[in-house]
């Protein structure tokens, strides 16, 4: 075997190491991040509701908050929600205008184009707030777009991209997210929406935990 063919001699191993090291380092950092991310789960949302919100989701929310102050977007999260690591909420300012002849955000660069700073929000289409209902489970790295409302009890699959409203107690998944099935019958869903157990006092919820966890509606 010639030296050019032998990957264990010459400069080839050094090249392989130089190529692989950044990838290895990135994986190590990502693993460390995931561990830290899991450790910070468990934030209180609302007066009585417990929601599990990952650090990645909070970071995304903080970054988008810079533009929320301009556009007045809101992320509304109900009670007893579970939001997995890497979930993203894309506010209006993350979009570009599709009604314009060009999607380029000219209003953001108002100084260069002699535009008014008061018209910065014209750089994107305003689709409204993101509303997450109660008892919603948002899976790993799911993306929720601006203007979307997710109904009570819904489940968003891993890495789903939610572009439209999700009905209560519906499981969705895919890109873009589409309904997979309802969690319960229409009769049970109606009863749950009428009961609104998440609004009960903590003592009543505690007394009925066995029924809630077993799926009994009576």
Q: Where are the domains of the chain?
A: 38-95+129-209
Helix or strand or coil: residue 129? coil
How many Cβ atoms are within 10 Å of 156's Cβ, its own excluded?
Answer: 27
Residues paired with 155 in a beta bridge = 137, 171
Task: Say if strands 75-77 and 143-145 run parallel, antiparallel, or are unpaired.
Answer: unpaired
Does position 93 have pLDDT exceeding 50, yes or no?
A: yes
Q: 91, exposed or middle or buried, with CB in 10 Å at 0-12, 13-18, 19+?
A: buried
Does position 79 have pLDDT exceeding 70, yes or no?
A: yes
pLDDT of residue 51: 45
Token readout for 101 is 């002849």
What's the CATH class of domain 38-95+129-209? mainly beta
Q: Are 39 and 53 in contact (CB under 8 A)?
A: no
Work out the mean pLDDT of the chain and round it to a whole number. 77
State yes or no: cis peptide before 176, omega within 30 of 0.
yes
Residue with the bigger pLDDT between 66 and 122: it is 122
Structure pTM?
0.67
pLDDT confidence tier of residue 75, bands split at 50, 70 and 90: confident
Does position 41 have pLDDT exceeding 90, yes or no?
A: no
The closest alpha carbon to 197, from 187, 185, 207, belongs to: 207
pLDDT of residue 62: 44
- Positions annotated as catalytic residues are 96
């Amino acid at each position: 075997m010639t030296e050019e063919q032998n990957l264990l001699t010459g400069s080839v191993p050094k090249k392989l190491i130089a190529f692989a090291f950044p990838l290895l380092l990135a994986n190590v950092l990502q693993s460390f991040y995931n561990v830290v991310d899991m450790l910070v789960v468990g934030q209180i949302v609302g007066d009585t509701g417990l929601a599990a919100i990952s650090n990645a989701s909070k970071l995304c929310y903080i970054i988008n908050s810079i533009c929320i102050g301009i556009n007045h977007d809101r992320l509304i999260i109900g009670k007893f929600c579970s939001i997995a690591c890497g979930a993203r909420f894309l506010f209006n300012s993350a979009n570009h205008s599709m009604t314009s002849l060009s999607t380029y955000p000219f209003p953001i660069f108002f100084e260069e184009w002699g535009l008014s700073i008061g018209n910065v929000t014209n750089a994107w289409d305003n689709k409204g707030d993101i509303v997450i209902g109660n008892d919603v489970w948002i899976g790993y790295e799911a993306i929720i777009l601006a203007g979307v409302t997710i109904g009570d009890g819904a489940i968003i699959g891993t890495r789903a991209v939610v572009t439209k409203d999700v009905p209560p107690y519906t499981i969705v998944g895919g890109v873009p997210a589409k309904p997979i099935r309802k969690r319960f019958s229409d009769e049970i869903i109606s009863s749950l929406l009428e009961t609104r157990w998440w609004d009960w006092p903590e003592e009543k919820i505690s007394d009925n935990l066995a029924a809630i966890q077993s799926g009994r509606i009576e």
